[in-house]
Structure 1
């Protein structure tokens, strides 16, 4: 009996596998719920991603030339900063261990090349600080160092020539 059942089951499986799939009738396609309320009016699909224009702010290099100072943290009577000179020259003011070598303006980004000097300094390699200019007027400079925490800014005041 078992010998007859096993070949019969195998025959049924082979026969079922060899059958041609039944053609879908036109009425069965209409039963698909995704096709019932299709809008036949052509429409234009607008991309849902908002495109933000690249930052195109460009500052005038001549506005940056001069002495820029800020209070020394903890010693508000003392001032520190830098003097930006024409043709990329720069000098640190009241930051004796920080020695600047040059500066460059690229649109709204200020690049400062510097190295730290000190008696116990292990590495005095050249560092390039990348700083975004948030605001620039004749008397004020607000900077955001890209390595700083969100919302942190440094504010400098320009020293008027006497």
Structure 2
């Protein structure tokens, strides 16, 4: 099944594209509903690297373990001001591991007036549990939309 966000954000595309390459943005849009902790020695890198998949632990409200996941951020400049970040990672353990299909892709592209079109797609599957897992992920993606708007406003204001 698929979950898709399509948001117009009041933030320059280059700033948002840069932020999406940083673990701190991932953690910001997940929190406070989900707390993401690095399981790697030395903690989070400054940027996701296609050469260094990164193991994380995810906890609901910082307390309830949801499992571990590998984040494998692959960044591409698509030209014409468009940028893509694709997570080629996968859930590894815990409740997260019921997902047998996990494909996450974000694309940002410029809009007039220094705004950005943000598209965020998750394709996921969990066998017979798919409808239930989909609903939980859909709810999380709605919260994610609010957090993306907050992140874009913060980036714009810090500029």
Whether TM exceeds 0.5 here: the answer is: no
TM-score bucket (shorter structure): 0.3 to 0.5
Structure (1 or 2) with the greater helix fraction = 2
Q: TM-score, normalised by structure 1?
A: 0.35
- TM-score, normalisation: structure 2: 0.35
Give the structure, 1 or 2, with the largest relative contact order (CA under 8 Å, sep 6 or more).
2
Structure with greater strand percent: 2
